[in-house]
Structure 1
Amino acid sequence: MDDSGFRYFYQTREGELEGDQIPEDYELEVVDPDLQGRFRCCHALIDREQPDSLQVVAILEQKLFHQRCYIPSGQPVPELVQINCRCDILNFTESLLRDERNANRSKFLIIVMFGPLTGCDDDAEIEIEEETETAEDTMDVEVGFVPASKSAIEDLENVSGLGCNDCVICLGNFATEKEAKRMPCGHVFHGGCIVRWQEKSHLCTLCRYAMPLDR
Structure 2
Amino acid sequence: MSYYQCEAWQIEGEDSEHDSSLCPVFSIEIFASIACHHSTTIQRLFLPQDQLTQASTSWSAISSKLSQMGVPFTLHATVMQKIIECARSAMSETHNKKRKNIPIIVTLGPARSPSEDEEAARGASKGAIGSLKNVEVEGNMRVEQCVICLEEIVDGVEASQMPCSHVYHQECILSWLEKSNLCPLCRFQMPT
TM-score (norm 1): 0.35
TM-score (norm 2): 0.38
